[in-house]
Amino acid sequence: MGHRVTGTAGAAGRPGRSCPGRVRPAAPVPLNVVGEITSLVTPPAPAQAYGRDVGEVGVREKGGQNHDEEPERMSRLAVIGAGYVGLVTSATLAHLGHDVCCADIAPEKVAMLSRGEIPMVEPGLDQMVREEMANGRLRFVLGAPAAVSDREFVFLCLPTPELADGSADMSSILEVAGEIGPQLSHGSIVINKSTVPVGSTHAVQRALARGDVAVVSNPEFLREGTAIHDCQHPDRIVIGGDDYDVAMRVAHLYHNTNAPVMITRPSSAETIKYASNAFLATRLSFINALACLCESIGAEFRDVIQGMGYDRRIGLDFVEPGPGWGGSCLPKDTRALIRIGEDAGYDFSLLRCAIAANEEQQDRIVAKIEAMAGGALTDVTVAAWGLTFKAGTDDRRHSPAIAIIHRLARSGARVRAYDPTVRQPLPGMDVCLEPYGPCRDASVLVVLTEWDELRWLNFDKINSLMASPCIVDARNLLDPETMRRAGFRYQGIGRP
Ligand SMILES: NC(=O)c1ccc[n+]([C@@H]2O[C@H](COP(=O)([O-])OP(=O)(O)OC[C@H]3O[C@@H](n4cnc5c(N)ncnc54)[C@H](O)[C@@H]3O)[C@@H](O)[C@H]2O)c1
């Protein structure tokens, strides 16, 4: 594969170094490294443990005597945290040929995983986990210290939930770092995959209290629902480290993904993750606001966004309007970036507007349902399809579907819901085990998650079950004309 080196301003003009945006001819190196460390903050204390001390400037041409030519070899890895990121990371790295020991603090989760049972919905994950367990490349243990003692690389995939002030709660990460510090083998590398504030790489280094162990930031960009594909074919791999050689050793773990590798200073890697999610959230807020404008002025949103998207600067990905953005990452990461700005004296007011626009979008969906129900929601039965924050996952963390249902309930509506991943009662709603159940005697049906199976139901039957055949399609999942022919009053988002 071609070897792209995209330099930064710091490298321009130096003989033999890359220039911004220039693509070098193909060179026989396996890693596609883009970007570079333009200046290093402080080399980690034990720089000598990893080869050369990189000094104050770590720009380095690729090829030659560095690790780019290092042959593929299986490494011994530990992954701490068997959640959405940790389990997918464990399975994918085992699939790439590494020996992976994955640890979690929850005994029931470790027991389930050790039996080959997967505690979450993620397409393809169960098969990959079972295959890699059978191949002897993946096993599960209880507690981080049990996983790390003979490991060369230790990935932290721990939760960083939002604190009351918007900042990320680092307590799991720092506690684990304190626990594993004494157990780590000499010269091992700790890799932080969790989404963490600027400065966390160095905070983990301090918590480890190990001068001979390096820490890098390696943020994860997987999307739930397509996580296996995303980990096998990442758009990019970002590694933030103070030591180029350490970062390259980590880069080689992803040897077979063919993804561009970008090596930065830790603070840049940490910022890239937050900025990416905050950008995506802002984009969706814009899309939803534009869809609302289109409804108001009689424009067809789909045509508008397509006309915009042919401009390559805008593109046609991530342009679907919906019930507002949610999930375990976008809301907390957007608020965390605002907080990071505040701590640094910068008011990221744009992001506060993006969050406010997202709240408005949920209000708008409730208003549409209310209008369909005749102007009031008291004692109205609403059927809700979808509870997860998107299709393809069982994750309901900060799901806009749940937020909208709670708003409906607060306005006096009775909500009956169906979601293919939910089998137990939830607060504020009745849960049905099949999609026709919620429709019985309902005045409005609202589509909140884009589960494909919902497209293919018997809509004549649904019409006959409902008290009044009205649909609010907050995902634009259904075809308006087909629904109208089937006798429904139908409203989507940004659709006439
Ligand atoms: N979920 C995503 O789509 C996604 C994508 C990219 C990045 N991230 C980031 O990755 C990190 C992890 O996210 P997640 O969704 O996998 O979280 P999660 O809550 O699904 O998983 C975290 C796991 O860590 C375990 N754990 C907690 N404390 C532990 C300890 N002391 N020792 C061992 N295990 C412990 C929990 O039991 C749980 O299984 C977060 O920072 C998140 O922001 C998440």
Q: Residue 215 and residue 195: Cα distance in Å, rounded?
A: 15
Q: pTM for the complete prediction?
A: 0.87
Same domain, 221 and 274: no
Residue 13: pLDDT band by 50, 70, 90 thresholds? very low
Note the pLDDT tens digit of each residue in 253-292. Answer: 998 898 999 999 999 999 999 999 999 999 999 999 999 9
**How many domains does the structure of the chain reveal?**
2
> What Å distances lie between residue 412 and 334, 359, 409, 446, CA to CA?
31, 19, 5, 16
Q: Which residues line ligand 1 (CB under 6 A)?
A: 80-86, 103-106, 109, 144, 157-160, 172, 175-176, 194-195, 220, 222, 224, 328-329
Query: Does residue 354 belong to any structural domain of this protein?
Result: yes
Residue 152 has a pLDDT of 98
Same domain, 202 and 286: no
Q: What share of the chain is helix, strand, coil (3-state, %, to 5)?
A: 40, 15, 45
Residues 86 and 105: beta-carbon distance below 8 Å? no
* In the predicted structure, residue 148 carries a pLDDT above the cut 70: yes
CA of 81 relative to ligand 1 center, distance in Å? 6
Query: Does residue 33 belong to any structural domain of this protein?
Result: no
Residue tagged active-site, from 157, 329, 432, 470 = 329
* In the predicted structure, residue 66 carries a pLDDT above the cut 50: no
Task: Among 208, 232, 256, give the residue marking a domain's end.
Answer: 232
Query: Does residue 19 belong to any structural domain of this protein?
Result: no
Residue 352 has a pLDDT of 98
Same domain, 155 and 296: no
Q: Which of 163, 329, 394 to mutate to test the pocket of ligand 1 (most atoms within 8 A of CB)?
A: 329
Q: Residue 297 and residue 308: Cα distance in Å, rounded?
A: 17
Note the pLDDT tens digit of each residue in 387-431. Answer: 999 999 999 999 999 999 999 999 999 999 999 999 999 999 999
Same domain, 205 and 326: no
Which whole number is the average pLDDT over 329-341? 98
For residue 237, the cross-strand partners are 261
Looking at residue 201, which CATH number applies to its domain?
A: 3.40.50.720
Residue 59 has a pLDDT of 27
Task: Among 212, 232, 252, give the residue marking a domain's end.
Answer: 232
Same domain, 162 and 301: no
Which atom of ligand 1 lies closest to the CA of 106?
A: 37
Residue 72 has a pLDDT of 57
| Three-class secondary structure assignment of 327-369 | CCCHHHHHHHHHHHHHHCCCCCHHHHHHHHHHHHHHHHHHHHH
Residue 255 has a pLDDT of 84
Residue 49 has a pLDDT of 26
> What Å distances lie between residue 340 and 216, 344, 398, CA to CA?
20, 6, 21
* In the predicted structure, residue 61 carries a pLDDT above the cut 80: no
Give me the domain span that covers residue 85: 70-232
Q: Residue 353 and residue 179: Cα distance in Å, rounded?
A: 40
Q: Residue 249 and residue 189: Cα distance in Å, rounded?
A: 9
Which whole number is the average pLDDT over 54-81? 54
Q: Residue 8 and residue 60: Cα distance in Å, rounded?
A: 12
Q: What are the tokens at 412?
A: 């006096």
Residue 71 has a pLDDT of 46
Same domain, 191 and 319: no
Q: Which of 85, 192, 238, 276 to mutate to test the pocket of ligand 1 (most atoms within 8 A of CB)?
A: 85
Same domain, 332 and 222: no
Could you give phi then psi for residue 361, rounded to 5 degrees? Answer: -65, -40
| Order of all β-strands in the sheet with 444-447 | 430-432, 414-418, 381-385, 444-447, 470-473, 489-491
Query: Does residue 477 belong to any structural domain of this protein?
Result: yes
Higher confidence at residue 38 or residue 280?
A: 280
Residue 55 has a pLDDT of 24
Task: Among 184, 214, 232, give the residue marking a domain's end.
Answer: 232
Query: Does residue 106 belong to any structural domain of this protein?
Result: yes
* Residue found by looking up tokens 């907050």 in the block: 474
Note the pLDDT tens digit of each residue in 453-472. Answer: 999 999 999 999 999 999 99
CA of 145 relative to ligand 1 center, distance in Å? 17
* In the predicted structure, residue 379 carries a pLDDT above the cut 80: yes
Query: Does residue 460 belong to any structural domain of this protein?
Result: yes
**What sign does the dihedral 33-36-41-43 (CA atoms) show?**
positive
Residue 273 has a pLDDT of 98
Q: From 231, 81, 73, 247, select the one nearest 148 (Cα to Cα).
A: 81
Query: Does residue 252 belong to any structural domain of this protein?
Result: no
Same domain, 282 and 150: no
CA of 264 relative to ligand 1 center, distance in Å? 24
Q: Residue 368 and residue 171: Cα distance in Å, rounded?
A: 41
Same domain, 478 and 354: yes
Which whole number is the average pLDDT over 132-136? 97
Query: Does residue 302 belong to any structural domain of this protein?
Result: yes
Same domain, 297 and 420: yes
Same domain, 278 and 221: no
Residue 495: pLDDT band by 50, 70, 90 thresholds? confident
CA of 408 relative to ligand 1 center, distance in Å? 31
Note the pLDDT tens digit of each residue in 111-120. Answer: 999 999 999 9
Same domain, 216 and 319: no
Which whole number is the average pLDDT over 71-98? 93
Q: Residue 101 and residue 142: Cα distance in Å, rounded?
A: 10
Q: Residue 443 and residue 466: Cα distance in Å, rounded?
A: 6
Q: Residue 284 and residue 263: Cα distance in Å, rounded?
A: 29
Q: From 71, 77, 87, 103, select the one nearest 185 (Cα to Cα).
A: 77
Which atom of ligand 1 lies closest to the CA of 219?
A: 7
Question: In which element (H, E) is residue 297 found?
Answer: helix 266-297
Is 294 a catalytic site residue?
no
Note the pLDDT tens digit of each residue in 190-220. Answer: 999 999 999 999 999 999 999 999 999 999 9
Q: What are the tokens at 476?
A: 């634009």
Q: Residue 29 and residue 37: Cα distance in Å, rounded?
A: 19
Q: Which of 90, 104, 129, 176 to mutate to test the pocket of ligand 1 (most atoms within 8 A of CB)?
A: 104
Residue 35 has a pLDDT of 52
